[in-house]
Amino acid sequence: RPGILSISQFTLHGRVKKGFRPSFTEAANPITGEKFYSLLNDDLRKRGLVVAEGIFGAMMDIHLVNEGPVTILIDTKNRK
């Protein structure tokens, strides 16, 4: 069966409206974030994926192969 390694990170929501770095002040609080993380993993399992989870909020050493120095999605449709 197909699988995924699910690792939570606080950098999933950031604003880049001004300055040189994303702002994470509007990211969810840890309790809400952990609920969404669990819901995501449960939904992936319901869809037939094998899900290996990291520990929410923990410092972890991982091995990652990524294309490019950083991956940032910038949505320009909602300009708050």
Catalytic residue numbers, as ranges: 11
Q: Which of 16, 10, 26, 14 is nearest to 59 (CA)?
A: 10
With DSSP H G I counted as helix, E B as strand and the rest as coil, what are the percentages for the chain, rounded to 5?
Answer: 25, 10, 60
Backbone phi and psi for residue 16, each to the nearest 5 degrees, phi listed first: -125, 30
